[in-house]
Amino acid sequence: MPVFDYDPSDPDEVAFIKTAARYYQVYEVHSGMMLAESDELRATGIQYSQQDLEHYAQGQPSFIDLQTDQGKIRLRNESLPAEGDLFLLVVGASARPMEDTLNSFLKALAWLIPSGVLLAAMASWFMAGKALQPVAELGKAAGEIVVSRLDRRLPVRGTHDELDQLAIQFNDTLAKLEKAVGEMKQFTASISHELRTPLAVLRGEAEVALMEANSTDHYRRILASQLEEFEKLSRMINQLLTLARAESGEVNIAREPVNISNMTRSLAEQLEPVAASKDVTLLCNCEPGVILSGDASWIERIILNLADNAIKFTLPGGHVWITVTKSMNDAVLEIADDGIGIAAEGIPRIFERFYRADPSRANRADGAGLGLSLVKWAVDQHQGSIHVESTPGSGTRFIVKIPLAAEGVVHQL
Ligand code: ADP
């Protein structure tokens, strides 16, 4: 019988020995004899054979599980060499508490997993709904934007997240769209207005001719006046068509050497009588041989439009100066006058279609405010720049720069 060495006054040790001494067997390996056995293990009827003993005594300490009426018992086999002999100590412990814990854990899991999944699904649904709410709001706000209400904007929450970025971008695009639609509306309104005026004049004159003209001479005068109106109308319609074609990308700009010095000089000669009829002095000073690469008809249009405006907006006794020079790699065309000038707030807008800085002062029938839009478009097409300086009452200066033709091209001229 084994003797357990412990302190019987220590309740912890007593409890430990009670558990440890519940299942045990001691064998002498060589003889195969069982030297001692606890009552509870005896009740299970387990007994190692000689072969088992030798097997367990040689190997590392091992465990075996034993299924009994009292539940599962886990046995540990440990060989104990002592005084030239070899013993095998078998100590067991009930696996029931462990199994009970495991079972209750599995039961808990069986509850916890479905309820956890359900909870997670509900939480995700709630969170997704909360996270997507701003998207839904944005969508609703976007859906309310129609062409007639382009001044509306999407709400920006100030959270600086992706949705805010999206709303800002969308609002920017809306602003551009609003501007474009506004311009389009204004353009349409302006066209109708600009066409109505000369048509009304023509109609009025025709009525006068029918009702009042009583001599060939009178008819002639009315027809001559009508011819002028027709002339202005067709000029405006031509400008409109050219602008529409240019902006829709239908116009091709030629790339040929253009001697802007010669061209400007010859145009200035043609314009001189027009200037003289208004008592405006036209002075032209062109550095010879300035050659750029571009489209002759469009360059001519640029010069004519700017010079025409300079003469038109200069009072009798005033001057218009036209110069052509070279600067670095550019041909520089300057058209200056000491005319009425343009107010500061009008300067950024003069290249807009139909814009006239002071429609009451300018001769309305004379221009539709399309000339500078075409000039700007043509300059852009030539990779050039146009710049304007003006002081009301003192005069205006337009500076156009267009890249010179390459050296090789110039020699071909
Ligand atoms: P318009 O057919 O009226 O001349 P433009 O597009 O050529 O149209 O010019 C737009 C407006 O710019 C003119 O109506 C005028 O108010 C202003 N402007 C252009 N050139 C001059 C200038 N040299 N002096 C004063 N105002 C000018």
Checking if the pLDDT of 328 tops 80, the result is yes
Quick check: 99 pLDDT over 90?
no
Burial 373-398 (b: 16+ CB within 10 A, else e): bbbbbbbebbebebebebeeeebbbb
**Average pLDDT, whole number, for the chain?**
87
**Which are the contacts of 231, defined by CB distance < 8 A and separation ≥ 6?**
none
Asked if 390 and 396 count as a contact pair (C-beta separation under 8 A), the reply is yes
Q: Which residues are CB-contacts of 83 (< 8 A; sequence separation ≥ 6)?
A: none
Indicate whether this model's pTM tops 0.75. no
The answer, yes or no, to whether residue 183 has pLDDT greater than 90, is no
> Of all protein residues, whose CA lies closest to atom 19 belonging to ligand 1?
309
Percent residues over pLDDT 90 in the chain: 38
Distance CA 65, CA 193 (A): 105
Higher pLDDT, 244 or 28: 28
Reported as a single tens digit per residue, the pLDDT across 218-275 is 889 889 988 988 888 888 888 888 888 887 777 888 899 999 999 999 999 999 999 9
On the 0-12 / 13-18 / 19+ scale of CB atoms within 10 A, 211 is exposed
- Out of 187, 313, 321, mutate this one to test ligand 1's pocket (max ligand atoms within 8 Å of CB): namely 313
Question: What digits encode the pLDDT tens for the residues 34-79?
Answer: 989 988 888 888 889 998 888 888 877 788 888 888 788 889 999 8
Q: How do residues 379-408 score in pLDDT, each as one tens digit?
A: 999 999 999 999 999 999 999 999 998 876
- Residue whose CA is at the smallest distance from ligand 1 atom 8: 369
Q: Can you give the pLDDT at residue 138? A: 84
Q: Mean per-residue pLDDT for 284-305?
A: 94
State if residue 301 touches ligand 1 by the CB under 6 angstroms criterion: no
Mean pLDDT of 192-198: 80
Task: Say yes or no: CB of residue 342 within 6 Å of ligand 1.
Answer: yes
